[in-house]
C-alpha cells in the first residue's frame, strides 16, 4: 500500500468467483496459433501471388462498399451515442477498478500515451494531403471554391474526429471495466461475459480474440505502410535517398528493431517516454508553422473550422450519399477511415485500459473524446489551412503533388517555410517516433491478446512481443508488394468488418453490466444509509462520546493493527462463518498477510449459487500520520486503518476501535444489502450458469492452472 492514499492494486475477486490468479503468464495457444496462421497465410499469399491478391481484395471491397456502407455509418454513430450516454449517466462515476483506486499516470503522461498510440504517422500524411484533395475534388459540388475549402477542412476533421475516438473509448471502457472492476482477464472476450457467461472461455471467446487480432494487425500495417512511404520521401528530401522498395524494407526493419526494444521495456519505460517526447516534438513543429506562417489567417481559420465542424457534424455522421453515391470517394475516405478506426479499436482500447486503471468512466470518456481531438483539430487546422492557402494563392503544382503523391505533401509544405532542412529533420524524427509508438504499442497489445496473463497489470512474454513486432513488419512489406497504400486501405476495410459485429455485443454486455453496477450502488444508498459512513450497528452497543473521540484521535501502529485482526476481526468473521454454515450456506473464510506491511487481512466469501457472490474483507491500509495529530500510539511516521472492502473496492471507513459485536453487525448490514441487491437483479445474470460452473470453464480454458487455495 502507498503511504498517503489507497493503492489501486488492492486485489478484488472476479464478479463470478474468488478464483486464485495465474501463477505465471502463459501463451494462449489457440488464439496465438489461429491468428498467427491467418496473418502469415495472407502475407505469403500477397507475396507469392500479388496480382491475384490485389484483384480479390479489390472485388471484396467493392461489394462491401455497395452493400454494407450504411452499416459502417450506423455502427460508428451508435457507438458515439452509447459512450456519451454512459459518461453522462449516473454510472459515469464508476471507476475502472475498485472504488478506492486512483490513476497511475498523470494527465499529461496519460494523454500523451493515448494520443501517440491512437494516432500514428498517418496524421502527418493526411493533415496536408486530405484537405487539398477534398478542396480540388470534393464529394459534392465544384472544387476550388470557398465552399470547397470549408468543406475540405470539415471532412478532414470529421474523419479524425470524435466518432473514431468513441470507438477507442468503447473498447477501453469495456476492457478496463471487466478487467479492473470485475477481475476478469484483460481480453476482448471478457466484455461478452454478461451475455454468454462461461462460454467466453470456449470457442466464442477464441473467435472474438482472433478477429480482434486480425483487425488490429491490418490496421497497424496500414499505418506503418503509410509511414514508410512518407519517411522514405523524407530521406529523399533531405539526403537524396531513392524511393525504392529496398529502402522501405530497410525502414520497416529499423522500426521493428526499435519497436521491439520499446515493447520489451514495457509501458513504464519505453512506451511512456517515447509518447511524451513525441507529443512535445509535435507541439514544437505545430507552433513553428503557426508562427512562421500567416498567423492571423491560421487563427481565423481555426475558429471557423471549429464552427463549421460543430454545425455540420450531425448531418455528416449519417450521410451515406444515397441519392448520388461517389463510390470511389467513399472507399478511399469515409468507409476506409471508419473501418480503420474499427480495426485499431481493439489494440488502442486494450492499451487505453492498460494505462487508465483508477479513472472514472466519465473522466475516461471525456479525456479520450476531447483531449486528443483538441490537439488533432489544431494540428489539422494549422497544417491543412497552410496548405490550402498555398493552393488558393495559385500554386497548382503544390496541389498536384499533395493530391497525387500524398507522401510528399507534408515535406513540400515545410519547404515553403524558413529553416526547411531543420524542420524536415524534426518532422522525420517525429514521424519515426509516431511509427515506433504505434508498432511497439501494437506488439505489446497483441502479445497480451494471445496470452493468459498472470494478472491485469502483467504483459505478454517478451518473445511474443518480438514475434508480433516482426510479423507486423512482414505483413506491411507484403501488402506494399501487392499494390502499396491503396491495397492496405482496402484490406483494412475488409478486416474491420468482422470485428464491427463484435462491437454491438460489447455495447450490450457493457450496458447489462453497468445496469447491475448502478443497482448495487442504489442498494447501498437506499437500504443502508448509514453504512458508508461507518456508523451502522446496534445502538445499544454503541460507544459513548469519549470513546468515539479517543478513536478519532488515535493513529494505531502495526502491533495494534495485528491485535485488532487476531482479537476482534477474525473472531467476528468466524462467528458469522459458523452461523452461516450451520444454516446451510457455502462459506469460505481466509487469512493472508499483505506484502510489504506484514499485517494480516481476513476475508469472508459467501457463494450465492448462480448469483453474484458476497465478499466482506477487512484489509489494512497504511497512511502517513497527519501533521495535526496531537499524540499517537504509532512508532514512526505511519499509522494503519482496517478498512472494509467488498468486490467493488474499499467502502472508505475504518473498523479500528469496533468491538466484535459491532463488526458482526457491520457484516450483516452488508450481507442483507447484498441480498436485497440480488433480489432486484436476478434477470441481469448471464444465462443459467453457476459461479462454480464458470470457474470450471475458466480452469479448463487455463489448462495448467494451479489452485493453491489462496483467495485474494
DSSP 567-612: IIIHHHHHHHHHHHHHTT-EEEEEEEE-TTT--EEEEEEEE-TTS-
Find the mean pLDDT for residues 357-379.
Answer: 91
Q: What span, in angstroms and rounded, lies between the C-alpha atoms of 304 and 300? A: 6
- 23 belongs to a structural domain: no
Q: Nearest-CA neighbor of 68 among 310, 320, 354?
A: 320
Q: Cβ distance 355 to 105 under 8 Å? A: yes
Question: Which residues span the domain enclosing 571?
Answer: 535-680
Q: What are phi and psi of 590, to 5 degrees?
A: -140, 155
Predicted pLDDT of residue 149: 96
Same domain, 170 and 315: yes
Tens of pLDDT, residues 567-619: 999 999 999 999 999 988 899 998 888 877 788 899 999 988 767 788 899 99
Q: What span, in angstroms and rounded, lies between the C-alpha atoms of 278 and 275? A: 5
Same domain, 318 and 388: yes
- Of the chain, the percentage scoring pLDDT greater than 70 comes to 84
Tens of pLDDT, residues 80-106: 999 999 999 989 989 988 887 888 888
- 525 belongs to a structural domain: no
Task: Give the relative orientation of helices 107-118 and 334-355 as an angle to the nearest 10 degrees.
Answer: 140
Half-sphere exposure of 678 (CA within 13 A, CB side): 15
Q: What cell does 90 get?
A: 449516473
Predicted pLDDT of residue 489: 76
Burial class from Cβ neighbours inside 10 Å (0-12, 13-18, 19+) for residue 451 reads: buried
Same domain, 256 and 369: yes
Q: State the pLDDT confidence band at 23, using cuts at 50, 70 and 90.
A: low
Sole residue written with cell 516482426: 470
Same domain, 301 and 430: yes
Same domain, 275 and 243: yes
How many beta carbons lie within 10 A of that of residue 37, not counting itself? Answer: 11
Give how far Cα 407 sits from Cα of 31, 124, 275, 434, 644, Å.
Answer: 36, 9, 23, 15, 58
CATH no. for residue 337? 1.20.1740.10
Tens of pLDDT, residues 441-463: 778 888 888 888 776 667 788 88
C-alpha dihedral sign at 31, 37, 40, 42: negative
Predicted pLDDT of residue 13: 37
Q: State the pLDDT confidence band at 372, using cuts at 50, 70 and 90.
A: confident
- 222 belongs to a structural domain: yes
Q: What span, in angstroms and rounded, lies between the C-alpha atoms of 132 and 152? A: 7
Q: What are phi and psi of 589, to 5 degrees?
A: -120, 135
- Of the chain, the percentage scoring pLDDT greater than 90 comes to 29
Q: Does the pLDDT at position 538 exceed 50?
A: no
Higher pLDDT, 700 or 127: 127
Task: Identify which of 102-106, 169-173, 217-221 has the greatest average pLDDT.
Answer: 169-173
Same domain, 590 and 505: no
Q: What span, in angstroms and rounded, lies between the C-alpha atoms of 488 and 510? A: 32
Q: What span, in angstroms and rounded, lies between the C-alpha atoms of 243 and 484? A: 13
Task: Give the relative orientation of helices 122-136 and 406-414 as an angle to the nearest 10 degrees.
Answer: 100
Q: For every residue of 606-622, which 3-state class applies, written as one string?
A: EECCCCCCEEEEEEEEE
Look up the pTM and report it. 0.80
Predicted pLDDT of residue 694: 46
Q: Nearest-CA neighbor of 178 among 657, 473, 517?
A: 517
* Helix or strand (DSSP H, E) at 156: helix 146-159
Instruction: Tally the domains of the chain.
Output: 2
Decide which of 520, 545, 563 is a domain's last residue.
520
Same domain, 442 and 583: no
Same domain, 475 and 339: yes
Amino acid at each position: 500500500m502507498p503511504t498517503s492514499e489507497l493503492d489501486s492494486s488492492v486485489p478484488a475477486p472476479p464478479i463470478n468467483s474468488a478464483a486464485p490468479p495465474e501463477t505465471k503468464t502463459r501463451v494462449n495457444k489457440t488464439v496465438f496459433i489461429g491468428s498467427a496462421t491467418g496473418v502469415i497465410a495472407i502475407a505469403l499469399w500477397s507475396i507469392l501471388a500479388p496480382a491475384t491478391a490485389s484483384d480479390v481484395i479489390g472485388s471484396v471491397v467493392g461489394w462491401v462498399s455497395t452493400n454494407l456502407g450504411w452499416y459502417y455509418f450506423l455502427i460508428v454513430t451508435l457507438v458515439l451515442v452509447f459512450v456519451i450516454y454512459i459518461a453522462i449517466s449516473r454510472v459515469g462515476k464508476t471507476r475502472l477498478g475498485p472504488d478506492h483506486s486512483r490513476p497511475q499516470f498523470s494527465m499529461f503522461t496519460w494523454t500523451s500515451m493515448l494520443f501517440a498510440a491512437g494516432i500514428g504517422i498517418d496524421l502527418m500524411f493526411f493533415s496536408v494531403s486530405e484537405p487539398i484533395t477534398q478542396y480540388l475534388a470534393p464529394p459534392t459540388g465544384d472544387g476550388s471554391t470557398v465552399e470547397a475549402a470549408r468543406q475540405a477542412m470539415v471532412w478532414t476533421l470529421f474523419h479524425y474526429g470524435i466518432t473514431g475516438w468513441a470507438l477507442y473509448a468503447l473498447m477501453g471502457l469495456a476492457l478496463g471495466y471487466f478487467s479492473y472492476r470485475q477481475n476478469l482477464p484483460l481480453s476482448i472476450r471478457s466484455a461478452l461475459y454478461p451475455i454468454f457467461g462461461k462460454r467466453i472461455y470456449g470457442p466464442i471467446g477464441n473467435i472474438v480474440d482472433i478477429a480482434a487480432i486480425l483487425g488490429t494487425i491490418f490496421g497497424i500495417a496500414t499505418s506503418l505502410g503509410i509511414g514508410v512511404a512518407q519517411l522514405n520521401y523524407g530521406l529523399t528530401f533531405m539526403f537524396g535517398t531513392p524511393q525504392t522498395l529496398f529502402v522501405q524494407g530497410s525502414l520497416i526493419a529499423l522500426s521493428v528493431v526499435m519497436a521491439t526494444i520499446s515493447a520489451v521495456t514495457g509501458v513504464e519505460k519505453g512506451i511512456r517516454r517515447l509518447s511524451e517526447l513525441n507529443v512535445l516534438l509535435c507541439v514544437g513543429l505545430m507552433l513553428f508553422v503557426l508562427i512562421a506562417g500567416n498567423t492571423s489567417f491560421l487563427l481565423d481559420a481555426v475558429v471557423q473550422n471549429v464552427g463549421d465542424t460543430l454545425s455540420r457534424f450531425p448531418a455528416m455522421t449519417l450521410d451515406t450519399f444515397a441519392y448520388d453515391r461517389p463510390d470511389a470517394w467513399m472507399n478511399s475516405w469515409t468507409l476506409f477511415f471508419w473501418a480503420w478506426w474499427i480495426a485499431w479499436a481493439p489494440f488502442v482500447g486494450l492499451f487505453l485500459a492498460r494505462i487508465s486503471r483508477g479513472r472514472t468512466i466519465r473522466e475516461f470518456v471525456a479525456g479520450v473524446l476531447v483531449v486528443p481531438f483538441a490537439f488533432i483539430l489544431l494540428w489539422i487546422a494549422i497544417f491543412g489551412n497552410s496548405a490550402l492557402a498555398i493552393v488558393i494563392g495559385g500554386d497548382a503544382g503544390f496541389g498536384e503533388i499533395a493530391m497525387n503523391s500524398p507522401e510528399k505533401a507534408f515535406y513540400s509544405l515545410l519547404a515553403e517555410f524558413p529553416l526547411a532542412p531543420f524542420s524536415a529533420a524534426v518532422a522525420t524524427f517525429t514521424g519515426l517516433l509516431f511509427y515506433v509508438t504505434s508498432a511497439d504499442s501494437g506488439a505489446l497489445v497483441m502479445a497480451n491478446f494471445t496470452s493468459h496473463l498472470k494478472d491485469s497489470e502483467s504483459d505478454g512474454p517478451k518473445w511474443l512481443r518480438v514475434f508480433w513486432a516482426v510479423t507486423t513488419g512482414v505483413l506491411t512489406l507484403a501488402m506494399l508488394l501487392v499494390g502499396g497504400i491503396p491495397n492496405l486501405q482496402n484490406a483494412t476495410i475488409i478486416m474491420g468488418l468482422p470485428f464491427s459485429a463484435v462491437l454491438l455485443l460489447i455495447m450490450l454486455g457493457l450496458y447489462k453490466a453497468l445496469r447491475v453496477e448502478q443497482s448495487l450502488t442504489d442498494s447501498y444508498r437506499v437500504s443502508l444509509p448509514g453504512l458508508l459512513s461507518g456508523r451502522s450497528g446496534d445502538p445499544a452497543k454503541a460507544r459513548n462520546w469519549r470513546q468515539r473521540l479517543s478513536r478519532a484521535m488515535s493513529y494505531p501502529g502495526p502491533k495494534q493493527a495485528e491485535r485488532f485482526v487476531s482479537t476482534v476481526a477474525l473472531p467476528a468473521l468466524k462467528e458469522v462463518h459458523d452461523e452461516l454454515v450451520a444454516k446451510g450456506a457455502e462459506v469460505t473464510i481466509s487469512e493472508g498477510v499483505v506484502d510489504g506491511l506484514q499485517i494480516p487481512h481476513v476475508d469472508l466469501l459467501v457463494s450465492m449459487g448462480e448469483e453474484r457472490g458476497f465478499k466482506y474483507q477487512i484489509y489494512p491500509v497504511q497512511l502517513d500520520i497527519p501533521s495535526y495529530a496531537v499524540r499517537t500510539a504509532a512508532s514512526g511516521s505511519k499509522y494503519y486503518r482496517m478498512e472494509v472492502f467488498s468486490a467493488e473496492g474499499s467502502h472508505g471507513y475504518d473498523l479500528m476501535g469496533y468491538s466484535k459485536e459491532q463488526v458482526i453487525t457491520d457484516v450483516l448490514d452488508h450481507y442483507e444489502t447484498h441480498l436485497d441487491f440480488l433480489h432486484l437483479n436476478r434477470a441481469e445474470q448471464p444465462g443459467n450458469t453457476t459461479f462454480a460452473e464458470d470457474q470450471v470453464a475458466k480452469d479448463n480454458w487455463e489448462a495448467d492452472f494451479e489452485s493453491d487455495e489462496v483467495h485474494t
